[in-house]
Amino acid sequence: MTGLFRPSLRGLAILLLTVAGLLALAACSDEPELIGTDMEGQQAPPFTLLDHRGDVVRLSDFQGQAVALTFIFTNCPDVCPLIVNRMRLAYESLPEDVQENVALLAITVDPERDTPEVMREYSETRGVADIPTWHALTADRESLEPLWEAYFVAPGEPIPADPEVVAAIEEGEHDPEEFLDEQEQADASGEDHDHGTEPDAEEDGTAYWLAHTDVIYFIDTNGDTQALLRGDYSEEDLAHNLRILAP
């Protein structure tokens, strides 16, 4: 019989491989993507620090886990409590088998005040002390400064704190969300809500804050940074990234 197409076994094999390849590409395109800035798998700068339990902690300890790494200070009135709270909520939303493969790390930018004891009290206040893979980390300034630089974090100069907000924090009545809203409104209206940058704010014992960079790095199981979140993100975003990176 003429006019009929009779593919050879070789041609059929090529056709099947081509179809399989196209299906694989289609499947890959449906894979969830990380939220935030793509860090292209750069190796995360290593460190050895003390955590809020007084234990020595190295970044290499978390090989094989998904890591969310941020920078905070315990006297922070706004962004830091929100970051820690979102990390807690993200962790709690994960299935138990994923939680076991996730580490939450927070490095201080205020080492003079944030001793391991202070970091422990802060972790207890923020409801994260009982998370087994939560580590609030500190060291001396000499050790931390090159680490801040490596992670592109600028702690900033000490700023004298608002006494009313300090009192509210001490009384447990401070709402960081409300405080941020007030700051944003002042920015929009052109009002001056800065309390100055007097260089002796640290030295004279005055309560002070630091205007530092708010970041969360997401580090994969090989110790490589894959994504960076800054500013307006939710606990759902954090959980999404940790779920993708966890083994």
Domain boundaries, the chain: 37-155+212-245, 159-209
Return the pLDDT at 80.
86
Residue 63 has pLDDT above 70, yes or no: yes
- Give the bridge partners for 72, in sequence order: 108
Residue 242 has pLDDT above 60, yes or no: yes
Return the pLDDT at 161.
62
Return the pLDDT at 76.
80
Q: What DSSP string describes the chain?
A: --S-----HHHHHHHHHHHHHHHHHHHHHTS----SEEEEEEEPPP-EEE-TTS-EEEGGGGTTSEEEEEEE-TT-SSHHHHHHHHHHHHHHHS-HHHHTTEEEEEEES-TTT--HHHHHHHHHHTT-TT-TTEEEEB--HHHHHHHHHHTT-----EEEPPHHHHHHHHTT---HHHHHHHHHHHHHHT--------TTTTTT---EEE----EEEEE-TTSEEEEEEESS--HHHHHHHHHHH--
Higher pLDDT, 180 or 172: 172
Around Cβ 117, how many Cβ atoms within 10 Å?
11
Return the pLDDT at 230.
87
Q: Is the entire prediction scored with pTM above 0.75? A: no
Residue 9 has pLDDT above 60, yes or no: no
CA atoms within 13 A on the CB side of 212: 30
- Give the bridge partners for 219, in sequence order: 67, 225
Question: What integer is the mean pLDDT of 211-225?
Answer: 89
pLDDT digits (tens, 9 = 90+) for 100-156: 999 999 999 999 999 999 999 999 999 999 999 999 999 999 999 999 999 999 876
* CA–CA gap between residue 51 and residue 49 (Å, rounded): 7
Mean pLDDT, the chain, integer: 78
Share of the chain above pLDDT 90, in %: 56
Say if CB 116 and CB 138 are below 8 A apart. yes
Higher pLDDT, 80 or 115: 115
Return the pLDDT at 31.
75
Share of the chain above pLDDT 70, in %: 64
Higher pLDDT, 156 or 216: 216
Residue 233 has pLDDT above 50, yes or no: yes
Confidence of residue 157 (pLDDT cuts 50, 70, 90): low
Return the pLDDT at 1.
41
Q: Which residue is it, tokens 């993507």? A: 33
> For domain 37-155+212-245, which architecture applies?
3-Layer(aba) Sandwich (3.40)
Cα dihedral 107, 108, 112, 115 in deg (nearest 10):
-60
Question: What integer is the mean pLDDT of 23-37?
Answer: 68
Return the pLDDT at 206.
52
